[in-house]
Amino acid sequence: MKKYFIISIMMCVAIAPIAFSQSKMKSSFKADVEAQRIKNKKSIIEVKQQLEAIRKDIKERNLKFKVDMTEALKRQIEEITGTVPPKDLEKEAEIQTSRGFQLFLEFLQRLAEAQAAKRQAELQPEKKEPVKPEEEVRKEEPAEKTPAQPEETLPQSFMLADPSKPVVDWFALGMMTAVKDQRLCGSCWSFTAMGVVEGCYKINKKADIDLSEQYMIDCARNKYGRDAGSCNGGWYGNVFDFLMNNYPVMEKVAPYKGYEYGCTPKKQVPIKLVAWGYVRSDGGIPSVDEMKKALCTYGPIAATVKVTPAFQAYVGGIFDEFTPVSSPKDVNHGIIIVGWDDNKKAYRIKNSWGERWGEKGYMWIEYGCNNIGYGAAWVVLDKELQ
C-alpha cells in the first residue's frame, strides 16, 4: 500500500510540470500575439494623414459616403480581413455549383413529397377499422403513394422573396442575427460562413441562433481534409464543405478568442447543410439580377470585397469608392450580402468589425464597387426539413 502511494505521488509530480508547461506555452503564445498587434498598430499621425487623404478624395470626386477615425482605420488591413479565395476557384466553382444545385433539387423534391403527404393526411382523417385476421392482411396489396406534383419540385416554389422588387433587405426585415467583431484575427471567412448560416436559420425558423466562429477556426476542414483557415486567412467555402457532414456548435460552448486554440470535441447543434454552391458557376462576380435572384432563393449570400483605408473609415452613406483593381479576383475580405435597394443602386452588406463600424456594422455599397460579390455563395440548411 505504501509503495502504491509513493508511485502515485511520483506520477502526479511528473504530470504536473507537463500541464504547467502546456499552459505556459499557450500564455506565451497569446502574449506574443498581443505584442505583435501593438507593434502593428498605426501611429495616430499616420491615421490622421490617411483620413485627410480620404476626405480630400471624397470631396474632389463628389462621393456619397462619410468617413471618420474608426478603430478599423487604426489597424493594418491584413489584420482585420483574411479572405483567401482558392487559386483554382473557377474549376472548383463549376463542380461545386453543379453538384450543389442537384442536391438542392433533390431537397425540394423531398420537401414537396413531405408537404403532399401532410395535405393528404389532413384531407383524409385516419379511420379506425376492425382488426382483420392475419390471413386477410397478407392478401391485401399495399396502397400506392400519391406522387408529388412536378411543379412542386421546381426552385421557383422555394422563393423566399420577389427579385423584381426594387428593395429586398433581410436586415430591414429583421432576419439577420447580431453583428460580431473578428477583432485582430484574419478570420472574416469564418464570420461570413457562420453569419450566412445564422441568417438562413432565422429566415426559416424565425428564431435567433448564435454559432461559434472559433470552432470553425479550430476544427473545420474542407472535403480534401485541409484546414478551412486560420487567423492568417481562409475561405468560407471550406466551412460549407465541413458543414455538409458535420454540425456547428454554439458560441457559448466555444466562445471567440481571436487566435487559434486547437480542436477539441464540443457539444454540437443539429444543423447541417444539404447543399451549397456559387451564384455563378465560375465563382465570378454575379450581375445585379443574378445576385437578386440568389438573395430571394436562398437568403443571405457569402461574398467578398476589396477593403481599402476608405472602407476601413466608412461610417455611413453609399460607399462608391471604386478603387482600382487588377482583376475580379482582387479581393481580401469576406462579408455577407443581405439585400439591395435600386433607389440607392447598392447592396447592403453585413461586416464583422462590430457595431461601431459603419451603420451599426452594416454598409451600403454601390453595385460593382470594389469587386463586391466575387465568390458569392449560397447555402441550404437541412434544418428546414424538420
Secondary structure E strands in the chain = 65-67, 167-169, 229-230, 233-234, 273-278, 301-305, 314-319, 333-341, 346-350, 362-366, 374-381
222, 238, 332, 351: the catalytic one is 351
Contact 75, 40 (CB under 8 A): yes
Residue 45 phi, psi (nearest 5): -65, -45
Sign (positive/negative) of CA torsion 150, 154, 159, 162?
negative
Residue 205 phi, psi (nearest 5): -110, -10
Sign (positive/negative) of CA torsion 276, 282, 285, 290?
negative
Give the Cα separation of 95 and 282 in Å (integer).
9
Grid coordinates representing 348 are 447592403
Respond yes or no: is residue 351 known to be catalytic: yes
Respond yes or no: is residue 188 known to be catalytic: yes
Q: Which residues are CB-contacts of 56 (< 8 A; sequence separation ≥ 6)?
A: none
Q: Which amino acid is at 241?
A: D
Give the Cα separation of 295 and 376 in Å (integer).
10
Give the distance from CA 175 to its chain's centroid: 14
200, 231, 238, 333: the catalytic one is 333
Closest CA to 208 of 219, 196, 199: 199
Q: Which residue is associated with the grid cell 483620413?
A: 51
- Known catalytic residues are 188, 333, 351
